[in-house]
Amino acid sequence: SLRKLREVFSFPIIGIIPDIKSAVKITKNKIVGLLATKATINSAYMKRFIKNFSSYVIIRNIIVSDIINVVENMFNTTYQSVYKTLSILSPWIEDRTSNPDTIILGCTHLLLIKKEIKNFFGRKINLIDSKSDLLKNVYIYKKSIFSIKKKNTVYYTKMEERIKILIQVFKEIGFEKFEEIFT
């Protein structure tokens, strides 16, 4: 749990809560999908969120631990592996009448394959992610803790299109130094 991690480590750990509120606002068929880890789906706070919104929408969950494992090893895998792993989402394709038109990406790992998830469904689907909340939290943290004049460095392992996009976002919130590191 985040609380325990924050107790153990001295550096900041930023947590993200899947954005059910936004999903409820934009769903047309009142069925929302949640892709998240088993721990997130079974957590007390998520059960409470789902219960609070259950009178407005149906929320269907899929545990995506296998997808997260593939994302964590993406530099050692192929896009074919990503799409093969995405097949665990197939039940939401097969019966469109009772399946979500809005899906919450309940894990930051999924941001890295958002395009692939959208392509996998091959139809108009709303994907809700936590990117804006994550960036807002990073900005708040940076502003409050790093108000000293020291320049902070963002490290990355390989310059790719996704990293270029992230660098632009980090520049917008005030980061100035970026370095490639080799693993």
Residue type, 119: N
Tokens of 11: 């550096």
Asked whether the whole model's pTM tops 0.75, one would answer no
Bigger pLDDT: 77 or 85? Answer: 85
Judge whether residue 80 has pLDDT over 70: no
Q: What is the pLDDT of residues 60-71, one digit of tens each?
A: 999 998 888 888
Strands (E), the chain: 31-36, 58-63, 102-105, 126-128, 153-156, 177-180
Give me the CATH topology for the region 17-129: Rossmann fold (3.40.50)
Q: What is the pLDDT of residues 90-102, one digit of tens each?
A: 888 776 677 899 9
Q: Residue 12 — very low, low, confident or very high, per pLDDT cuts 50/70/90?
A: confident
For the chain, the domains span 17-129, 132-180
Tokens of 9: 């480590």
Q: Residue 8 — very low, low, confident or very high, per pLDDT cuts 50/70/90?
A: confident
Q: Which residues pair with 177 in a beta bridge?
A: 153
